[in-house]
Structure 1
Amino acid sequence: MKISVVVPCYNAVDKIGRCLDSIRAIDFSKAEYEVIFVDDCSTDGTYELLEEVCTEMPNWRLLRLEANSGSPSRPRNRGIDAASGDYVYFLDCDDEILPAALKDQYELAHRTGATLIRSELWAEDGRNRRLMNQLNEWSLELSISERRELIIGKQSTVVASFIKIDLLRRNQIRWPEHLRMGEDTVFLATVLLHSDSIEYLPRPTFVYYKLPSLTPASTQRYGRRELRDHLEVWATTQELLRRVGINYLRSRLHVGLRVSLEAQIFRNRGDLDAEVFNKFHEFVVENWEIIKNFRYTERLKELLSATRNGKFNEFKLLCRPRLLIAGHDLKFVSDAIPELSSAFDIRIDEWKGHAIHDESESLRHLEWAELIWCEWLLKNVEWYSNHKRSNQRLIVRMHRMELGRHFGERVNVANVDAFVTVSVLFFERLIERFPDIPRHKVRLVDNYVRTSGYRESSHEDRLFTLGMIGILPARKGLLRVLNILSDLRKQDKRYRLEIFGHNPEDVPWVFRNREEMAYFNACAAFIESNELASAVAFNGHQDVKSELAARNVGYVISASDSEFGFPGPESFHVALADAFSAGGIGIVRHWGGSEYIWPAQFIVESDDDIVERIAHLNGDDETRCWLTSEGKNFVEKNYGVAKFATTVKDLFQEIF
C-alpha cells in the first residue's frame, strides 16, 4: 500500500457527493492506495451513506468515532493511526481531489525522497475559480530553510499535504484536537519543523470549495473560542518555527490577522467577551511594531485601532457589518431595524417611488455598504444589481405585488446573492414568473410581527365584532365578509364589522380602475340593501395595535379570493398575526398557500364554515380561550421580530 487518503466527515450528506465522485476518478492503481473515511458521529445520514458506498469500493474503509469531537482533528488522527500506506494525504469531505493528484505527488516523492509535498489548488466560491498556493520563486537550489520560509509565507495552510507516514509516527506529530480554528497551521508548522526533504508540485491537486451549505461548517461562525484559538495558534506557530529561524509573525501574521478581523465582521457569533478581547488587545500591543506595517483597508485599521486602545465596546460596534436597506415603502422591514441594529450597522436608501431615487445619494450609500438588502423586487434591485461591487452581497426580498411588474426581468441575476420570499407558495411563484432566477438562490424567510405593544380587550362586545385589516384591492374579499356579517346578524344583531385601511377613493389606481370600483360599488349596494350601514365602520388607516382593542375586535377574517389568478391571493397576510397578537382569533377562508403559513385549526373552507365557527366559539369559552392562546404562542414562536432578525443575520453569513 503506497498511499492512504484520510477524509474526516461530519454531517456532510448534502456536500460530500462531489468529493466521492472525485475519489472514484483517481488515476492510480486501486491496489496501491486506500481511502479512509472517519465519521465524527454524524446525525444527518452521512455515516449510513458512506457505509453503503464503501461496500462498492474494495479500497475504501469507514471508521467512526465513539463520540463527536467537535473538529476534524481527531478524525484525522484516527486516520493516521489506521493508515497502512507509506504516505498520507488529507482531504476534506466537501473538497475535490483531482484525478492525477496521487500519481503526481507519489512520483515526485519517490524520485526525490521527499517527506512532505505541498502543491497548488483551485479555490471555488460559486462565482469564480482561481489558482492559489503558487510558489513562483521555488527552485532546486533553495535550502531547506528557504523552502520552509517560502511555504509558510506564500501558501495558505490548507490540509491537503502529502506526507511520509513515518515522519508523523516517528515524531509523534498529531493534529491538535483542542483547536477548532487554525489547527491546520499548527500541524503544518510541526511537519515543516521535522521535515528534512520538502518538495513543491507546481500543479493543483485538489479543488477547495467555499460554498454555502445546508449544514454549515464550524468555520462559518467566528466568536470567542475561534479568536482564542487563533491567538494560541499564532503564538504556538511562532515558537515552533523560531527553532528553524523563521519569524512566523513577520512572514504570515498579516494574512491570519486579516482573516480573523474579517471573520469578526462577517461571521460573528456575537459571544466575544472582555476576557478574550483583552488577550487580543495584549497580543496586538505586544506585536504592534510588526502589525502597524500591515497594508489593511481603513475598515480593518479601525478595528485594529480599537483593539490596540483596548476599547471593547467600540470594537463590538465596529464589528457589525455595514448593511444598506434600499427601496420604496419600507413598512415591512423598518419595524425590525432595532433588532437588526444589534447585528448590523444600518443605513437607509429610501426611494421616492418604485423607480424614483436620488442616484448620487444611492452611490454614496453604495460606497459605504458591505451588505445590501433590497426591499421589494422593483427598480431598486435593477439598479443595485448593476452597480454593486463583487465584494458586496445583495439580498432581495419579494412580497407579492412585484410579480405583476416587469422590473424582475431586467435584474442582473448573477449579481444577486439571494432572493427572499415570504411564503412557500410565492417561493414557487417567483421562479415561475422570473425563470432566469435559479432555484438555489431563492430562500424562504417568513414575514414577522412585533408582538409586543398590542392592547387587548376584555369587553364582551369582542365576541360579536369582526375585523378586516385591508380591503384593497377587490381580491381581499370585502363582499364575502359582508355576506358573513349578514348571516351572523340573522342570529344576533350585535354582530358588526370594523374595517381598517384605505378606502377605494383614497387610492388613485383603484379609483381609476373600472372593475375595482364596480366591485366596491357592489359592496356599498350590499350594505344598503341589507341595512348594514350601522353595523359596518370604515375607520381608515389606523394603528391596529391599539385600535383592534379600542373597537373590541375579537375575530379578524382573511377572506381573499383563492381563484383570482396569477400571482395568487395573499403572500402571507400579516393581518392574522395582528389578530393573534391583540388577543383575538384570526380565521382564514382557505386561499392557496395559507396552509403553509397558518395552523389548520384557523383555516376553514367556506363562508358558511366561518359563520358556524364564530357562532360555535361564542358558545364555547374554553375552546375560544385555548385558540386565542394557541394563536398568540404560534405567532410569537414562528413570526416574532427577533427570529426574523436572526434569520437575516444567518442568511448574510451563509452567502458571504
Structure 2
Amino acid sequence: MRVAASAFDFKFFEPVDAALRDAGGVLRYDRWFGLAEHDPARSRSLARWADVLFAEWCLDNAVVAARERRDRQRLVVRFHRFEFDRDAPARLDADRVDLIAFAGPHFRDAAVERFGWPDERCLWVPNPVDVEAFTTGKTAAAGRTLGLLGWERQLKRLDRALDLLEALLEVDPGWRLRCKGQHPAAVDWVWHDTPQRRWFEAQLDRIASSDRLARAVRFDGFGPVADWLRDVGWILSPSDVESFHLAAAEGMASAAVPVIWERPGAQQVFPARWVHHDTEAAAAAVWRAADEDTRASQAREARAFVAERYDRPRLARVWQELVLGAAPAHPARTSEG
C-alpha cells in the first residue's frame, strides 16, 4: 500500500515510518518548507500516487491533504500539541478525514470540543517508546541525580526543577540536576521573545549567583539520550503543558523514577502516584523513595508501566492497523486502565 506522508518536521515520525514499512507499506515524503510553504505540484502528484495520505501535524499540510483526498483514498492526520492554538485545525474539512490521531488524551478531548470534530474519528495514539533501547543500567551517581530532558522553552519550567533541587540540597548536598537539550539562546523564536529571554536570563543568573546551585547544575548538549539517562535516577516532568511528554516516558523506560507536576492530562498518561500537586509534594515524594531499595522498586514499576502501555512494538501494530487496515477499537488506554 502506498503512503504519502506530509510535514514540515518529521522528527516524531520515524517509528510510524518503520511500522508501516515493516507491514509492506511504500512511503514517499512531501517535505514542506515551513508551516504553510510547500511545492503544490509535488503535493498534488504524491496525493494522486498514494493509497493513503498521512498528514504529520494538523497544519496546512492536513488542510491541503483533505482537499486533495479522493474517494478511493484514506486520510490520517496526526495531531500533536503545537497545532492547538493555530488556525489550521479550524480550516480542516474533517468530513474528508478518516482518522485524527492525537499524541495526548487531553488535547484529543479539547480538540473535539473546540473544533466540533466527530468523536469516533478522534483517537489517542501515544508516542511510541523504544523500551529496549533504554535498557542500559544506571551509574552509582543516578540515585542522587535529577534529570530534565528538554528545557529550551519557558513552559518546560526550569524554575521548578531548580526549586526541587534547592529543597533537596537543604538536606543533602549530594544532589545534582542534569539538564539536556538545546540552550534557549540557540532557538531563535524563543530568544527573540523578550519576556521569555528575560525569564531564562533570570534563571541562569539564579544558578550563577548561588555557589550551591552552580556546583549542582550541569547543562548537557546533544548526544545519545540513552547514554545520558544512565546517570539519571529521577526524570523530571515539570512542564505547564504537554500532550504526552515523551522525555518522561523515555526516562521511565530507562528505570528512572518519574517526578511529574500536575497539569491537564498528566494523570491520563502517567500513574497518579507519580503526579504531584506542587514542588513541595514532589520533594516529599522524592524523599520517601530516596533510599536505594525503594527507588529501585519504583524504578522497576515505572519501566514496567511504559513497557506495557507505550512500547514501540505494541504501538507499531496499532499504527499498521490504523493506516493500512481497520482501526482497533481502543488503540490506547489511560493510566487507570
Offset at residue 395 of structure 1 (A) = 0.8
Aligned partner of 1:578: which letter?
A: E
Distance 1:543 1:405 in 2: 32
Aligned partner of 2:266: which letter?
A: S
Query: 1:651 — aligned with what?
Result: 322
Query: 2:126 — aligned with what?
Result: 446
Distance 1:464 1:536 in 2: 12
Offset at residue 399 of structure 1 (A) = 0.8
Query: 1:546 — aligned with what?
Result: 227
Distance 2:185 2:42 in 1: 34
Deviation string, structure 1 residues 340-383 (Cα, Å, up to 9, x no partner):
21222222222222112222222232222101211101111011
Query: 2:249 — aligned with what?
Result: 577
Which one of the candidate residues 507, 516, 519 is aligned to 2:187?
Answer: 507
Distance 2:11 2:312 in 1: 13
Which one of the candidate residues 299, 309, 331 is aligned to 1:628?
Answer: 299
Q: Does 1:462 align with 2:137?
A: no
- Residues 336 and 641 of structure 1 are in contact (CA less than 8 Å); yes or no, is this contact kept in structure 2? no
Deviation string, structure 1 residues 426-464 (Cα, Å, up to 9, x no partner):
1111123323x2223211212211112225343221011
Query: 1:428 — aligned with what?
Result: 109
Query: 1:613 — aligned with what?
Result: 285
Aligned partner of 1:364: which letter?
A: S
- Residues 66 and 75 of structure 2 are in contact (CA less than 8 Å); yes or no, is this contact kept in structure 1? yes
Aligned partner of 1:650: which letter?
A: E
- Residues 16 and 319 of structure 2 are in contact (CA less than 8 Å); yes or no, is this contact kept in structure 1? no
Q: Secondary structure at the match of 2:100?
A: strand
Aligned partner of 1:478: which letter?
A: L
Deviation string, structure 1 residues 10-38 (Cα, Å, up to 9, x no partner):
xxxxxxxxxxxxxxxxxxxxxxxxxxxxx
Q: TM-score, normalized by length of structure 1? A: 0.48
Which one of the candidate residues 1, 22, 28 is aligned to 1:342?
Answer: 22
Aligned partner of 1:536: which letter?
A: V
Q: Does 1:479 align with 2:153?
A: no
Query: 2:75 — aligned with what?
Result: 394
Which one of the candidate residues 588, 598, 610 is aligned to 2:270?
Answer: 598
Aligned partner of 2:239: which letter?
A: S
Query: 1:355 — aligned with what?
Result: 36
Offset at residue 576 of structure 1 (A) = 1.2
Which one of the candidate residues 45, 51, 56 is aligned to 1:364?
Answer: 45
Distance 2:128 2:193 in 1: 31
- Residues 148 and 236 of structure 2 are in contact (CA less than 8 Å); yes or no, is this contact kept in structure 1? yes
Q: Secondary structure at the match of 2:9?
A: coil
Query: 1:103 — aligned with what?
Result: none
- Residues 19 and 319 of structure 2 are in contact (CA less than 8 Å); yes or no, is this contact kept in structure 1? no
Over the aligned positions, Cα root-mean-square deviation in angstroms equals 1.7
Residues 485 and 497 of structure 1: is their aligned pair in 2 closer, same or farther, counting only changes over 3 Å? same
- Residues 15 and 128 of structure 2 are in contact (CA less than 8 Å); yes or no, is this contact kept in structure 1? no
Q: Secondary structure at the match of 1:428?
A: helix
Aligned partner of 1:596: which letter?
A: Q
Q: Secondary structure at the match of 2:131?
A: coil
Distance 2:224 2:86 in 1: 29
Which one of the candidate residues 309, 313, 317 is aligned to 1:642?
Answer: 313
Distance 1:494 1:457 in 2: 21
Query: 2:89 — aligned with what?
Result: 408
Residue correspondence of structure 1 range 6-405 to structure 2 within 5 A: 321-343=1-23, 344-405=25-86
Q: Secondary structure at the match of 2:36?
A: coil
Offset at residue 401 of structure 1 (A) = 0.7
Query: 1:559 — aligned with what?
Result: 238
Q: 5+ residue gaps in structure 2?
A: 328-337
- Residues 486 and 530 of structure 1 are in contact (CA less than 8 Å); yes or no, is this contact kept in structure 2? no
Distance 1:578 1:387 in 2: 37
Distance 1:353 1:541 in 2: 24
- Residues 5 and 30 of structure 2 are in contact (CA less than 8 Å); yes or no, is this contact kept in structure 1? yes
Aligned partner of 1:453: which letter?
A: A
Aligned partner of 1:636: which letter?
A: A
Deviation string, structure 1 residues 438-493 (Cα, Å, up to 9, x no partner):
22321121221111222534322101111111113211111011011111112122
The aligned length equals 324
Query: 2:332 — aligned with what?
Result: none
Q: TM-score, normalized by length of structure 2? A: 0.91
- Residues 587 and 602 of structure 1 are in contact (CA less than 8 Å); yes or no, is this contact kept in structure 2? yes
- Residues 467 and 556 of structure 1 are in contact (CA less than 8 Å); yes or no, is this contact kept in structure 2? yes
Distance 1:455 1:444 in 2: 26
Offset at residue 408 of structure 1 (A) = 1.3
Distance 2:206 2:175 in 1: 16
Q: Secondary structure at the match of 2:178?
A: strand
Residues 433 and 600 of structure 1: is their aligned pair in 2 closer, same or farther, counting only changes over 3 Å? same
- Residues 396 and 418 of structure 1 are in contact (CA less than 8 Å); yes or no, is this contact kept in structure 2? yes
- Residues 15 and 316 of structure 2 are in contact (CA less than 8 Å); yes or no, is this contact kept in structure 1? no
